[in-house]
Amino acid sequence: MFRVAVPLIYVDKEVLLFYPSCTSRIRIIPHTQRIIEMNANNSGRTSPQFTSQRSAQHMDREKKVLVIGHKNPDTDSIVSAIAYAELKQIMGFANCFAARCGNVNLQTEYVLTRFEVPPPEFINDLIPKVKYYMSHMPTTVPRDIPLWHALETLNKGNFKMLPIVDGEGRLQSILHFNAFAQNMLKKIDPNRKGIFPTSVSHMVKTLGAQPVVIFEEETIFPAQIVVAAYEFDAFKEHLDAMSLPNTIVLVGNRRDVHEYVIERQARVLVVTGGSSVSRELKKRAEEKSISILISPYDTSTTSWLTLYSSPVVHTGDTALKPLREDDYIGTIKTQLMESVSRSLPVVDRNDKVIGILSQSDLMRDPHIEIIMVDHNERSQAIDGIEHYRIQEIIDHHRLGNDHTNHPIIFINKPVGSTSTIIATLFQDYRVPMRKEIASILLAGILSDTLILHSATTTETDRHMAEFLSSLTDLPIDMFGKNIMEASSLVAREPVDYILSLDMKRFGEGKFAFTVSQVEVVTFKEIMDRKDDILEGLERLQGRTGSLFSALMVTDITELDSILFIKGDRFFISHIRYPKMDEHVYLLKGILSRKKQLIPILTEIIRNSQ
């Protein structure tokens, strides 16, 4: 590789010139009259430059689609999300992933563990966060590259700032033009001698200089520049007053100056204008351990570029604090707006740069979109869902969804479980199911229909269960019993945990209420904890501001249910189910919360208004 200087005229914008005779490249920065870099090599390619942050950041804005069920998810909700995300991926939607907004209950844990299927990613909420808006794959610059190269990257990419990182990608400081200007003012202040950190290696890289003799090339030292512009005797007097071990002397083809600089043992002699150095001078420099470089530029240009050879980390702004990916947008807006470049790097827990968030990013749609499964009502959805575009809804419950701003795919069928719908979609799209997916979908159907005994069970559910059973060699009755036995252990869990499982919030007119549901193999354990459960319901009703809160406990062997309820006394006085105890009612033959209980409760609300 060799470097040459080519005289150029002023230009108004960056120009790339490719010579047809060799793989050469010339980059011209706006309003400059000199070449910045020309790498010529007749047999090879030029060295790659830094990745363009603009192109990389915009390439990564492909949407991530979350397939997610309702709050306090049951088995049907979890397995539907897992299976539909896999179907979408098979169909070519690689950015589609299953998610959940609640803990996995005992029954679901049993199902997933048995078939070695990992649970979906847990997402606590979708309130706008930095990670949903930031640009990924940011361009960063290593802390030890010359300032000039970093400025090239900043200018070429039209970036507002660049994160400066160490060898592990951890943020060290931030380069922006204000920081650069402040740093340069200190270096060129005429009232004091400018001292700046650099090394011989950095000077070679920045100047594209030809090394003649090099010593301690990687050592960073506090440099000061002397330009041999004086008459010789005046120059000697000036040089003698300098701290020679840290002095860089710039001079053209003046042999007398060359000899004196070597004799006085300045640290670096830079011969400008591409002038050569005699063998005798080279030998004397070697004896004195003086580095000699030949710059292809005139003395003035060489002087400026030498100032820019300082490692970029010394120019970065350390006062600006980065953002974290889980920071809420509402809490960092002021910090972002007060930053000089209206943009900040985003770091992970180890302070590694993982993205950039700018003011313009907040003007775009977030790169998250949603597919809702096993629910369609906003009250049952993950918090913050209103900020994101909904692509699809797949459900088997009553309609209670809000309007959407865009057309969507909406599949709602009167079947016993969403798992039935998802399994049908595999068939409709002629996509074969893995045995593990077929197994968990069968579990979803049997769980939501109480082994096909619930009032919500349809012939479609039965046919699909039989089909999945034949694929998996899982007998319906035995497998269903295994699933229900796993869920029956819930009666021994803390009350607040029991009430949080499969808790759904419903609305009727101006009133809202919650109904949780669990399955057991006997009422005895749950009835022994009646007082604790009622106290928990009272706390839940007060915390949510609901008209009432209820727990429906279903005995999967006797196929009956019990209703525990606390709330508005006037409402409760209108309940006509057989009373087992104060605030406890027997729901004889009632298994379905959706089809058998909720319609009665909403009718009571309407009639009592």
pLDDT of residue 191: 57
Please state, in angstroms and rounded to a whole number, the distance separating the CA atoms of residues 52 and 235: 45
Residues sharing a CB contact under 8 Å with residue 406, sequence separation 6 or more, in sequence order? 389
Q: How far is CA 275 from the centre of its chain?
A: 53
Q: Does the pLDDT value for residue 41 go beyond 70?
A: no
Per-residue confidence band for 26, with pLDDT thresholds at 50, 70 and 90: very low
pTM for this model (two decimals): 0.70
pLDDT of residue 144: 93
Domain topology for 64-128+368-486: inorganic pyrophosphatase (n-terminal core) (3.90.1640)
Range 15-42 average pLDDT: 32
φ, ψ of residue 485 in degrees (nearest 5): -65, -35
pLDDT of residue 137: 84
Q: In what order do the strands lie in the sheet with 409-412?
A: 121-122, 96-100, 64-68, 368-373, 389-395, 409-412
| The total number of residues written for the chain in this structure | 609
Range 218-237 average pLDDT: 88
Q: pLDDT (tens digit, 9 = 90+) per residue, 466-511?
A: 999 999 999 999 999 999 888 777 778 899 989 988 888 898 888 9
Domain with CATH 3.10.580.10 in the chain: 136-185+313-363
* Helical axes 299-307 vs 200-207, angle rounded to 10°: 130
Range 2-20 average pLDDT: 32
pLDDT of residue 33: 32
* Residue 473 DSSP label: T
Q: pLDDT (tens digit, 9 = 90+) per residue, 530-588?
A: 999 999 999 999 999 999 999 999 988 788 999 999 999 999 999 999 999 999 999 99
Q: With contact defined as beta carbons under 8 Å apart, do 2 and 23 qualify?
A: no
Per-residue confidence band for 35, with pLDDT thresholds at 50, 70 and 90: very low
Give whole-number Cα distances, 315 to 49, 198, 323, 336, in Å.
21, 12, 21, 21
Domain with CATH 3.40.1390.20 in the chain: 200-304
Mean pLDDT of the residues in the chain: 86
Closest CA to 590 of 572, 577, 571: 577
Q: Does the pLDDT value for residue 368 go beyond 80?
A: yes
| DSSP character string of 526-574 | HHTTHHHHHHHHHHHHHHHT-SEEEEEEEETTTTEEEEEEEE-HHHHTT
Per-residue confidence band for 189, with pLDDT thresholds at 50, 70 and 90: low
Domain with CATH 3.90.1640.10 in the chain: 64-128+368-486
Q: pLDDT (tens digit, 9 = 90+) per residue, 151-187?
A: 999 888 888 899 999 999 999 999 988 878 877 777 6
Domain topology for 200-304: 3.40.1390
pLDDT of residue 212: 94
Domain topology for 136-185+313-363: CBS-domain (3.10.580)
Q: pLDDT (tens digit, 9 = 90+) per residue, 56-93?
A: 444 445 789 999 999 989 999 999 999 999 999 999 99
- Token pair in block for residue 435: 């045995």
Range 343-355 average pLDDT: 94
Domain topology for 493-608: Diaminopimelate Epimerase; Chain A, domain 1 (3.10.310)
Please state, in angstroms and rounded to a whole number, the distance separating the CA atoms of residues 261 and 240: 10
Domain with CATH 3.10.310.20 in the chain: 493-608
Range 102-120 average pLDDT: 94
Give whole-number Cα distances, 116 to 208, 300, 434, in Å.
59, 70, 12
What percentage of the chain has pLDDT greater than the value 70? 89
Closest CA to 419 of 441, 402, 450, 388: 441
Q: In what order do the strands lie in the sheet with 504-508?
A: 504-508, 511-520, 548-555, 560-567, 584-587, 579-581
